[in-house]
Structure 1
Amino acid sequence: MAKARRRRVRDTWKEKQWYTIMTPKDFGDQEIGTTPAREPEQLMKRRVESSLRELTGDFSKQYIKLFFEINEVAGDTATTSFVGHQVTTDYVRSMIRRGTSRIDSIVNVTSQDGVKLKVHVLAITIKRAKSSQQKFIRETMEKMVQNAAKDKKFQELIEDILGGKMASHIYHESKKIYPLKRVETIKTRVIVEK
């Protein structure tokens, strides 16, 4: 019986070129990694993840993950746009204790310059709150996120969210309803860019 000849597989790895991935100008035009690709077009829409600590050097921001998407390639440099952030699940779990209430609020907002975002805010009470109190806190959180988005441009809004300024405002307003342990903006996602 004749043996079938094996076709020689072409090694495409050698044909690939390395591209440097940069953050948007608003995030300081920093290098966040490198990636290989045969054609620059293959890089488009590729997602890249980085922690806020890597960009700022602030170790206390280790738990915040930022997501970028490649939108332009020039030479061997790929530029990105910000598409969202997320807080690590272990950090969220560490905040929640038995006998407390977890209040989630997911709001779709549009910034002053027309960028649509989905913002997920989490509040944790000191003790278990009544459902009416939880509902009132959730409504307060939603209203405050919408007002902040209406008054700010996309970049200012993201800076407030990542810096914790928005969570701090929500905390001070919502603790009047029921004592809170913590408020955190745990996730954002850009739905439609301008």
Structure 2
Amino acid sequence: MAKRKQVGKRVEGWKAKSWYKVYGPEAFGKAHIGDTISADPSKVMGRVMQTTLGEISQDYSKQHIKMRFKVNNVAGDAAYTEFVGHEITRDYMRGLVKRKTSRIDTMILVPTKDNKKVRLTISCFTINRANISQAHAIRETITNVARGQAAEMSFDEFSKAVVSGDCAKEAFKMVKTIFPVRRVEIIKSKVETPVVMAF
């Protein structure tokens, strides 16, 4: 028969752990995004926290925007994070798709002014169905707008523009001059982590 673990030791281990308040980066107002527990502050580093833009901004019309932040600094009982990506919920995306229209996806890697690389998935929803050449022109326009904006902004500025929809609005303005479109959305972003080579 297996020996039962002593409950006392488990309680002592739990008591040895401390709670840390986790805050978003300055670009998102250093909002409190949650709490995490650990016995060792170094183990809090690198943890990824998820929340929504609605929770951060107290604007619940933005609950469909899921955001991810990674802890990169711990000071006392506070943990500070950096933005590592966002994604639009599937339910929200389903509501954007209409019959007899086109959804044109563009996937690109763009470097910011301070040389951070962000992978974007951008969807364009048209009013009428687009043919192959029109879809190609739309993708090219969206790519040029996203690259141009990223090159002019710091990573913090660009991540905020991506999540707030400002970057998508700029793309929409340019695309609608070449084809009737209903909406442009950056449905996903992911910050690319540099690969460290081991020797």
* Structures share fold, TM-score greater than 0.5: yes
Please say if residues 23 and 32 of structure 2, whose CA atoms lie closer than 8 Å, have aligned partners that are also in contact: yes
Aligned-residue CA RMSD (Å) = 1.7
Give matches, 1:158-177, under 5 Å: 158-177=159-178
Superposed CA deviations along residues 128-185 of structure 1, whole A, max 9, x for unmatched, are 1111111110111111111111111112212222222211111121122221111111
Q: 1:7 to 1:32 in 2, by over 3 A?
A: closer
What is the CA distance between 1:64 and its match in structure 2? 1.1
Within 1, Cα distance between the matches of 2:181 and 2:5?
66
Residue number in structure 1 paired with 2:65: 64
Q: 1:42 to 1:133 in 2, by over 3 A?
A: same
Residue number in structure 2 paired with 1:151: 152
- Report the residue type matching 1:165 in the other structure: D
* Match status 1:41 vs 2:42: yes
Within 2, Cα distance between the matches of 1:4 and 1:89?
46
Question: Which sections of structure 2, spanning at least 5 residues, go unmatched?
Answer: 195-199
Please say if residues 117 and 192 of structure 1, whose CA atoms lie closer than 8 Å, have aligned partners that are also in contact: no
Task: Name the SS for the 1:177 alignment partner.
Answer: coil
What is the CA distance between 1:96 and its match in structure 2? 0.5
| Runs of 4+, deviation exceeding 2 Å | 3-10, 12-15
- Report the residue type matching 1:178 in the other structure: F
Give matches, 1:110-149, under 5 Å: 110-149=111-150
* 9-18 or 69-78: bigger deviation: 9-18
Q: Give the fraction of aligned pairs with identical amino acids, expressed as a percent.
A: 39
What is the CA distance between 1:83 and its match in structure 2? 0.8
Superposed CA deviations along residues 34-57 of structure 1, whole A, max 9, x for unmatched, are 111121121111100111111112
* Match status 1:81 vs 2:114: no
Question: Which sections of structure 1, spanning at least 5 residues, go unmatched?
Answer: none
What is the CA distance between 1:7 and its match in structure 2? 4.9
Within 1, Cα distance between the matches of 2:74 and 2:168?
35
Please say if residues 84 and 190 of structure 1, whose CA atoms lie closer than 8 Å, have aligned partners that are also in contact: yes
What is the CA distance between 1:60 and its match in structure 2? 2.2
Task: Name the SS for the 1:100 alignment partner.
Answer: coil
What is the CA distance between 1:4 and its match in structure 2? 5.7
TM-score (norm 2): 0.89
TM-score (norm 1): 0.91
Superposed CA deviations along residues 77-102 of structure 1, whole A, max 9, x for unmatched, are 11111111111111111100221111
